[in-house]
């Protein structure tokens, strides 16, 4: 098997701001695995919150190149177990390799990934479109310029309630909010009551990631469901989120790829947690991988490619929240 790495600097349509950062470009690494005339793609994006740069991604993947290139006929689960010990500290790199291998494996079997997993795509959830933090006026313009059935609104500013109140005047869409760890327990509880009246569906990660005691209080008293994001990183975190959150937003780069992501979804469902998969400003390469998990999810945030000024691949397409799969095997991706 041959491993090829490509780096990109994805330009965003708008400066993207959340409670702790602001970006205009998203660096991204595409991993290609080639074997026997077939290929598979995986993606990992850089992320300062998790200390991931393209250099670190490439260095860590190169360390495991000999193991990857020696792989033969393994299932994705076997492949993941083989490379996991080398990349325990870099789940982003693990994700890019795991997703590429899952794609390659499905292509070799002549199936789309969701077909290989026996998932029924007829009841897929719609994806939200994210409105990053900006002046209230600009947030309204961004929303109105992108008519959509579900918006995820980034919060964590001194004017959070004013933002949602103003956006609500201009749209009847479903709203979700993401505070990205910026609120206190008191703010989370009082905001939840007001946001519920403004037609908000759920709140994502109100408190700091390690504030489990505070989160328990919010979980027990909030009038809106609370989804974990920064508090739910890897497989061991699902059990921790039980009785602290109503659901989990799993991200493939945080947990190490589709293979552990599927296990996390199964565990979350067993514990009665709502399931969601989120993206990290990936191109259509990463978004197409997420799309194959849709049948197992209650909610999805896979707008990464929609936020780009220019994409680097064709794969799944999203129109008005609904996902359409190309008539191709694997994840269905072709690089431009």
178 binds Mg ion (CB under 5 A): yes
Provide the terminal-to-terminal Cα distance of the chain, rounded to the nearest Å.
22
Q: Which stretch binds Mg ion (CB under 5 A): 133-141, 194-202, 226-234, 305-313?
A: 226-234
Residue 52 DSSP symbol: B
In the complex, least distance from residue 187 CB atom to Mg ion, rounded to whole angstroms: 17
229 binds Mg ion (CB under 5 A): yes
**C-alpha closest to that of 41 among 84, 105, 92, 124:** 105
282 binds Mg ion (CB under 5 A): no
Nearer to Mg ion by C-beta: 60 or 204? 204
In the complex, least distance from residue 207 CB atom to Mg ion, rounded to whole angstroms: 13
- Residue 277 backbone phi and psi in degrees, to 5: -120, 135
In the complex, least distance from residue 181 CB atom to Mg ion, rounded to whole angstroms: 9
Whether residue 223 contacts residue 243, with contact meaning beta carbons closer than 8 Å, is answered with no
Nearer to Mg ion by C-beta: 134 or 229? 229
Rounded CA separation 223/62 (Å): 48
Rounded CA separation 233/329 (Å): 29
Residues 12-51, mask of contacts with Mg ion (x by CB under 5 A): ----------------------------------------
Whether residue 190 contacts residue 183, with contact meaning beta carbons closer than 8 Å, is answered with no
Structure tokens at 276: 């969601």
Q: Which stretch binds Mg ion (CB under 5 A): 79-87, 102-110, 222-230, 287-295?
A: 222-230
Q: What angle do CA 162, 165, 171 make, to 5 degrees?
A: 140
What Rg, from alpha-carbon coordinates, does the chain have? 19
303 binds Mg ion (CB under 5 A): no
301 binds Mg ion (CB under 5 A): no
Nearer to Mg ion by C-beta: 115 or 201? 201
In the complex, least distance from residue 117 CB atom to Mg ion, rounded to whole angstroms: 25
- Site for Mg ion, rule CB under 5 A: 178, 204, 229
């Amino acid at each position: 098997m041959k491993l090829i790495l490509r780096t990109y600097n994805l330009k965003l349509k708008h400066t993207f701001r959340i409670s702790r950062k602001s970006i205009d470009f998203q660096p991204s690494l595409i991993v290609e695995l080639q074997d026997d005339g077939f290929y598979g793609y995986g993606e990992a994006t850089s992320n300062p919150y998790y200390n991931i740069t393209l250099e670190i991604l490439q260095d860590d993947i190169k360390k495991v190149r000999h193991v990857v290139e020696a792989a033969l006929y393994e299932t994705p689960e076997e492949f993941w177990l083989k490379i996991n010990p080398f990349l325990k500290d870099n789940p982003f790199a693990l994700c890019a390799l795991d997703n590429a291998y899952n794609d390659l494996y499905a292509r070799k079997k002549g199936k789309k990934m969701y077909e290989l997993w026996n998932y029924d795509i007829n009841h897929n959830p719609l994806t939200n479109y994210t409105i990053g933090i900006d002046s209230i006026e600009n947030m309204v313009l961004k929303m109105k310029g992108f008519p959509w059935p579900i918006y995820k609104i980034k919060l964590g500013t001194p004017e959070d309630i004013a933002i949602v109140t103003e956006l609500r005047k201009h749209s009847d869409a479903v709203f979700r909010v993401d505070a990205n760890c910026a609120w206190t327990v008191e703010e989370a509880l009082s905001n939840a009551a007001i946001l519920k009246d403004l037609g908000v569906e759920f709140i994502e990660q109100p408190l700091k990631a390690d504030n489990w005691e505070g989160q328990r209080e919010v979980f027990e008293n909030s009038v809106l469901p609370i989804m974990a994001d920064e508090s739910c990183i890897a497989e061991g975190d699902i059990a921790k989120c039980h009785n602290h959150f109503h659901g989990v937003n799993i991200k493939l780069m945080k947990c190490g790829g589709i293979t552990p992501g599927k296990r996390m979804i199964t565990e979350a469902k067993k514990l009665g947690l709502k399931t969601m998969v989120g993206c990290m400003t990936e191109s259509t390469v990463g978004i197409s991988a997420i799309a194959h998990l849709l049948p197992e999810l209650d909610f999805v945030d896979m707008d990464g490619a929609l936020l780009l000024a220019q994409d680097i691949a064709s794969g799944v397409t999203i129109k008005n929240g609904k996902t359409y799969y190309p008539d191709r095997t694997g994840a269905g991706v072709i690089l431009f």
